[in-house]
Structure 1
Amino acid sequence: MTPPGLLRGASVDFRWRPVAAAWYLGVGDEIAPGTSAFIRKLTVRRAWAKKGVSTELLSFARAHARALARPYLRLDCVADRLGLRDLYEHFGFAVHSVIRKGTVSFARDELQTTQ
C-alpha cells in the first residue's frame, strides 16, 4: 500500500497533500565504511501508523541497498523505544551494538540484504 504523499521513500508530495512519512536513506556508515546503506530519521505520520508504511519503506530500503551491492542495511534507534525496536526486529533487523551519546543509548541495528 502506498499512501498519498509517499514518493519512493521521499517526503515530497507535489500535489500538496499531507505527507505520510519522511526519512533519509544514504550510504554513509560508521561501523564498516562501504558495506551498507543507512536509514536515518524514519518517521511516519500518526494517521498512517500501523498501516504498513514503515514496512514499505524498509522493503524499499532493503531493495535499494541490494541494488547498490551493499550487504547490509543499518539504522540507529533509541534503545528504550521498545515498540519501534520490535518493528525493526520483526522485519529482520538484529542488534549489532549499543552505543551511548551523552545520556542516551542507541541500538545500532543491521539487516543482511543478501538473504
Structure 2
Amino acid sequence: MKKGSETPRTVSPVLWRARAACAHTDHNVFFTNSGHRAAARAQQICASCTVTAECLQHAESRPERFGIWGGKTAHDRGWSADGRRLHSRPSPSAKAREEPTH
C-alpha cells in the first residue's frame, strides 16, 4: 500500500481521543481513589468535552472497570470499587438482538 493511501478502515478507531477535552490532561485525574472531589474535577473536564459519547462507548466496549469515562464514574457504569459488576447488563450485541425491528 502506498504511503498516504490509507483508507478509513485502517485508521485507528480511537481517533476521538485527540479531540477529547482531557487529551492534554494528566490522566491520573480520571483514575483516583480520592473521593467525590476528585471525581467532580474529572467530570468537570468531561462536561466541556465534545466526544463524551465516544469515550463512554469505548469504556463500555472494553469494559473499563475503573476511572471516569465519558463523565461517568465506574459506579455509574455498573462497577464496584473492587472491579466487580454491580448488576448484570446485556452486551451491546445482545441488546441489539432484543430490540424490535419495525
Same topology, TM > 0.5: no
State the structure with more CA Rg.
2
TMscore range, shorter length = under 0.3
Tell me which protein shows more strand as a share of its residues.
1
TM-score, normalised via structure 2 length = 0.28
Tell me which protein shows more helix as a share of its residues.
2
TM-score, normalised via structure 1 length = 0.26
